[in-house]
Each structure stands twice: as C-alpha cells, then as structure tokens.
Structure 1
C-alpha cells in the first residue's frame, strides 16, 4: 500500500464559520461560495488571518497568493451535491450552509439530472470564470458520502427502505455513487485534488487522497455497511487511489473488520472516541488521521490535553508517518493559546519528549 505522508505526525486545524465571522469579518452567504471575485479574495483573507495568528505553526502559507479556489477549502461543509440532487440550501453569515431535506418520495432518479441542475451549472460557470481570468483553478468541494446524501435526499425513510425494499435501496445508493464518482472526476480533472474540502489534512500529504465521508455510518450496523456500502468503497479504492474514509463518529472501530477488506484503504479519519488500537490491529498500513473533539479539548488542562493526545497517538502504533492529528470546527470561543498547545504536544511527540 502506498505511503502517502513523509511528514511525521502532521497536524491541522479547521475553524467553524463563527470563528471566521468573528476574527476575519467573513460572511458565509451565497456570494462567498459562488462569486468568483469573493472566492479568491475571501480565501486569501482567511489565509492572511491564519498567517498573522498562527504563521509560526505553518498555517496561512498561501497568504500572499490570489488562488482561484473553486470551493471553500477552509470549511468542513458539504452542501453542493445535496443541492444537485434536489435539496434546498440555506446560507448564513456565521454558519455553514444548511441542507434542507428534500424528502424525495421515490427512490428512482436519473444520474444525469444532477448534472443538468442549476446547482451544477452554477459551479461550471464559476470554474469557467476563474479559468478565464487566472488560466487555471485549484481546490475542491466537499462531496459528502453515499449514505450522507441519501439521508439528505430521502430523509429518515431511507432506513425503512433498507429493511423493506433493500434491492431498490441498493440501486438508489448505486446511483448516488455514480453522481459522486462523476463529480469527483470533474473536480479532480480541473484542479488535481478532490478532498481538501473534506479534510484540510489532505493538503499535507505527498499524494492527493480521495476521502469518502461516512459521517452517518454511526447510524447503521456493520451488517448494513457490508450489504450496501462496502462494495462501493472497495471499487473506489481501486479507481481513486490513494483512497480514504472520513468517519467522524465515535465508533469507527465497529467497522474495523469490514474496513480491513478494502484492499487499498490508505487513509482513515478516526473519529473522537474510536478505538485506535483495535483499528490499528485490522489496518496496520493505513494512515490514521486522529480527530480531536473540538468541545472537549477546550475544557482540558494542558496536562489532560497532552495525555489524551499522547495516548491516542501511541495507540496508533508508533509510526508517525502513518499518524496525524486534526481538530475540526473549533468555534469562536477557542483561544489561540489552545491551538499553539495542540501543535506543541505534537512536536513533543515527534521529539519523543517525556
């Protein structure tokens, strides 16, 4: 399996929109996502704020560049594919876009309809405008995941469908997978990456990783995963290498045995509370991106922070080129001091300090 990271214990932080609204004055209205001028200006402003506050940590490295980013690479926010599949999206000044469930009555739809939607056409227009001005585009857009999108489109009824009409549900999931697959290839063909917007840690790797979001898999059993989704992950791991799974729930270890059957699972986002040691037993070669809980770590003393990070990194097996740390959606209450402390703990682990 390819080793995707030559760095030791890479670390990254993603701030919640309310942090950006407070500290950079950025509003996350529709224009932030689709106005080509603001795409460039707001992303550079975000880089500048990161550089001014945390430049010594390596953040804000692009603060001097006007990069034609097609998507919001500083946010953890999936919305566009849901809109392409018929959901409404509401925008806010200090929060990520909110997807409104479409409650689709039928499990049947045509894959190409998603690419004829106003949402996708608007993206294409943005890409074309940025290319016309800059000659190229970079970045990507959070593409979510099969079950995540199915819930957005169908609502909680999808779980009844999985029991009462499993064959139709499987076809429905397959069509959503086709939409995702085509979308990812469109983005990656234009920019060279697909998943910085899924997890910013992806930008730290030696190779661009495709990361499938499985946030909602905490709601299903391992048996359901094997029945409906494992085959998709297996196929994508061969076609989108290097391939990864984002599992932000507290129980990714429930799927450890099934994940071990994915031949090229190069990356795993390990949700806070996941049994890292058990996962490592099943996935000895996979890069583990260990997620820190953005609420809990603000309550910890420095020693508690140090201990919890050390324990989880040690449970990953000791190879710091196969282990990373991230904390996503740190809100406006987090102190700069706490950010520096997270990086300080990581550095002490790299140096093997007691």
Structure 2
C-alpha cells in the first residue's frame, strides 16, 4: 500500500464539526487541543476505512497550529503584514505592498523583542510544561511566498528593473525563515509538517520550503533570483525538501535537483509527474491530487487517475519513493469520493 494523506479545507471542518478557525484556534492552546480531538474523533467515526484505529482520536496532542490544516502566515505577520482570521478559512495574509523605501529599511525581526513571536513562544512553553513536548505544525513559508506577501506583484517588476532591491528583500526573507525555524528547533526536532503533513510519514527530518508562488515566474528567473536562497536554506538545514504546489513542477525540477541535500519534492496537481520523476529520480516524490478533481470526478475516474498518476511517477517501476496527497478538500466533496481516493491509493502496490 502506498503512503497517502488528505487534508480538508477549513470550511469543510467548520460545516461538519463547528470548529472555528478564528484567532482563538491559533492563539488559545486549550481551545485548539479540544478542537483537534473533536476533529480527529469526527474522522474516526465517519471515515473508518481511512482512520481505523480508535487510538487516533483518544489522546490530546500538544500542538501549535495543526497538521489537519495547511496555511502560512506567521513569518509575514512577523514582518508586519496584517492577518485576517475567520471562522471557516485559513489565516489570510494581507499584502503589505511595501514601498521601495520600506523595503530598504526592512530587517530581520528580533524574535526576543517581537510581540507576535512572544504569542507563539508562550504557547510552546506552556505546552511543554504540561505535556513534556510540543508538536509544531507552523508553516515554514518560502522565500518568494514571503517576499510576495510583503511587496505584491511589484516584486516581479523588481526582478527586471531593480535587482538590488529584490535581492535585499529576498535576503531578509531568507534570514527570517532561518531565524524562525532555528527557534522552533529549540522546542521540537520535527518542524516541517505545517504545509504537507505527509512529510511526517516520509521525511520527518527534512526542512521544507514552500515554493507555492514559483509557478508564477520562469525557470530562468527562479535560477537567477530564488535558487541561491533555496540553496542557503538547504545548506543551513542539511536535509532539504521542496513543496511546489503549482501546475508545472516539471519546469523547475531540473533546477531543484541541483539543490544540495534535496531528499523530498512535492509536485502540484496537473504537473508532468513523469518528467518530474525523471529529473529527480533519487528524491522522494509526493504527488498532489487536485481537490477540484476530487470534487467533480466520478469514482471510476478517481480510481483511474490515481493509478495513472502513480504509474507516471514510478521509480524503476516501483512506488516505494512515491506518495500522494489531496489538500484543501472542498466542503461540497462527497464523502464517497474521499473514500474512493484513499482506497485507490491503498490498492497501489509498493
């Protein structure tokens, strides 16, 4: 059986369980722990084919953020972005649209004197005092993701018209990512399952960077502007993983392959999985299945697409370096489609 994972959209959780994802979910450990147990109990009771063990939902977990969600916000918040919290959505980063002068003045936040960081560090200390450890599911973000949140679409103009300013912004973003991750590692050894929880089953020791926005630029621009910073992350953390949820991971896979210490790559739905596997044959490959497809396809279509996608990404006709996730499952997706998806992967030999 191949390894797989599913993650539901917050609107799904809110409708099915009543859990709210406003500020209290992210800032109140007691509410979050109770919500987490409610969510896991719901999965166990409604999807026994997927979660067959009652132990899955019994014990409270000392978690900060949640591996049942996928969303990034903390690093942008630390650098001054406003965050919109709502009952049925992920925390939404409001673009800061920094001016040239504001970027010139931008620096890595001092976590020891940051009121934002203090809110999260206090939670981790509280959880450790109560449970003896903490499970961090805070998203580690990505270099361009963070730069885009701060600058907006002007970032892409900067690449052509103001490279020096772009590099300053990317440098601050990279150093901020490192500072936050290093601080998290003081509390827990596994820090990278905030955006792709399946990493915990496949490469828990890796540092994962989120390259969600990389599909918006060319491979040449990635190589010139972003690859040097991904290499910095890879060299700093030693074991490296890349989350690329865009539709064209094959355009960047040959460059990702050049990144030192790359052990794991996630390719977005509708990517050419065969081309990605050919470029990164020695790395674990996690395939993203489209939640829109899962919503709209028939069960036979889901079964066939799962099989064909695994086949296209197989490594030397084996699947022991391949897994699959469907993340952000829509609130209107029929339960039988979710079950069919999981069963189809369970039938994949490994």
**Which SS does the other structure have where 1:350 is aligned?**
coil
Shift of 1:103: 1.3
2:229 aligns with 232
5+ residue gaps in structure 2?
A: none
Deviation at 1:195, TM superposition (A): 1.7
Partner of 1:309: 306
Query: What does 1:1-354 correspond to in 2, within 5 Å?
Result: 8-58=1-51, 62-105=56-99, 106-108=102-104, 109-113=106-110, 116-205=113-202, 207-317=204-314, 318-350=317-349
User: Closer, same or farther in 2 for the Cα pair 1:104/1:254, shift >3 Å?
Assistant: same
CA distance, structure 2, for counterparts of residue 21 and residue 207 of structure 1 = 29
CA 1:254–1:115: 2 relative to 1, 3 Å: farther
Contact 2:295 2:330 in 1 (8 A): no
Residues 49, 339 of structure 2: 8 Å contact kept = no
| Secondary structure of 2:208 counterpart | strand
For 1:73 and 1:189, locate their aligned partners in 2 and report how far apart those are by CA, in whole Å. 19
Alignment partners' CA distance in 1, 2:249 and 2:38: 35
* SS across alignment from 1:95: coil
Question: 1:160 Cα deviation (Å)?
Answer: 1.5
Question: Could you say what the CA RMSD is over the residues aligned between the two structures, in angstroms?
Answer: 1.7
- What SS is found at the alignment partner of 2:31? helix
Does the 8 Å CA contact 2:127/2:134 hold for their aligned counterparts? yes
Q: Secondary structure at the match of 1:253?
A: helix
TM-score norm. by structure 1 comes to: 0.92
Total equivalences in the alignment: 344
Q: TM-score, normalised by structure 2?
A: 0.93
Any gaps of 5 or more consecutive residues in structure 1? Answer: 1-7
Matched position secondary structure for 1:12:
strand
Rounded to whole Å, the distance in 2 between the matches of 1:119 and 1:19 is 28
Shift of 1:187: 1.5
Residues 7 and 327 in structure 2, CA contact (< 8 A), matched pair in contact too: yes
Q: CA deviation at 1:95?
A: 0.9
Report if the CA contact (8 A) 2:185-2:191 is conserved: yes
Q: Distance in 2 between matches of 1:344 and 1:136?
A: 34
Cα deviation, 1:224-257, whole Å, max 9, x if unaligned, reads 1111111222232233243111111101111122
| Residues 79 and 109, structure 2, Cα contact 8 Å, conserved in 1 | no
